[in-house]
Amino acid sequence: MSTELAWEVVAETGAQLGERPVWEPATSSVIWVDISTGNLHRFTPASPGRPGGDRVLGTPGVPVGAAAPRAGGGYVLAAADGFRLTGADGGPAGPPLRPPGMPDNVRFNDGACDPAGRFWAGTEAWDMKSPIASLYRLDPDGAITEHLTGIAESNGLGWSPDATVFYYTDSGEDVSRIRAFGYDLAAGTLGDERELIRFGPGEGFADGLVVDADGCLWIAMWEAGCVRRYSPAGDLLGRYPVPVSRPTCPGFGGPGLDELYLTTAWEDMTDEQREAEPLAGHLLRARPGVRGLALACYGG
């Protein structure tokens, strides 16, 4: 079921731990982060009269797990010490918003906006195994609500096109899987939970994910060198090899949302592994023949 895609390198950044590419229509760019350095990147594709390229917008001095555009300009960050808001230049727009009771030995990891403009992000234990982390919701007014506890490494998350299902993975579990929850968009709450996908030995570990316009899930498989596509029922539709062993998160972009961007990593690789994978850490792009969903901006 493997299908080849023509992956191209669009930004030779060599990120240690790239994560969460998000298309920003206002700038016709992709924003993404290098978790380890805390760098917020913006990649602008070349176009007539515009050379394009990748630039670092800001570095708050702590790891950053994910970012999303704000409706009024600027960005919301899932930073190690809490949620942070920035201006359009990536500079701080206030102090960190730290959830009450957030332990000192966790940091924020992946995050994304629901269709109502709330930013969801979860934490991970520094050892990525202790079940002491949580999943939070940041409302546009700055209120923070805890929704899941007992998490080890909060990771990929996304919503069905009609926003009635929330998809989620805890990469710190002993068995890699994707869970699906009922979702109440008006209230911003999770409902009944079920296991949607369970991965077997040798299949890698589910990392970041994104949902396409057909409601199918695209999942980056850490240590498996591929991206997988699943139906909303959890059926495997395609396996797409990538030229690195540690892809981290896919995201749709381009004016037609028909380009698939992919962040990658070289974290924890030996010198020999890095030499064998020269593209690890770069931002990649392919055209899979399907379109993504237009993502909401954070409303705050």
Task: Say how far apart CA 90 and CA 199 lie, in whole Å.
Answer: 37
The arrangement of strands across the sheet holding 82-86 comes to 64-69, 75-79, 82-86
Q: Name 229's Cβ contacts closer than 8 Å, sequence gap at least 6.
A: 212, 216, 217, 218, 219, 236, 237, 238, 239, 240, 288
- The end-to-end CA distance of the chain, in Å, is 43
Task: Using the Cα atoms of residue 169, residue 175, residue 177 and residue 179 in order, give the sign of their dihedral.
Answer: negative
Task: Say how far apart CA 268 and CA 285 lie, in whole Å.
Answer: 24
Question: Known catalytic residue: 214?
Answer: no
Task: Give CA separation, 203 vs 17, 87, 177, 180, 226, in Å.
Answer: 20, 40, 11, 20, 9
What is the number of alpha carbons within 13 Å of residue 215 lying toward its C-beta? 13
Contact, 115 vs 296, CB < 8 A? yes
Task: Say how far apart CA 55 and CA 65 lie, in whole Å.
Answer: 18
Specify which residues 70 forms β-bridges with: 298
Considering 34, 110, 114, 207, which one is annotated as catalytic? Answer: 207
Q: Which of 219, 196, 225, 195 is nearest to 207 (CA)?
A: 219
Active site residues: 207
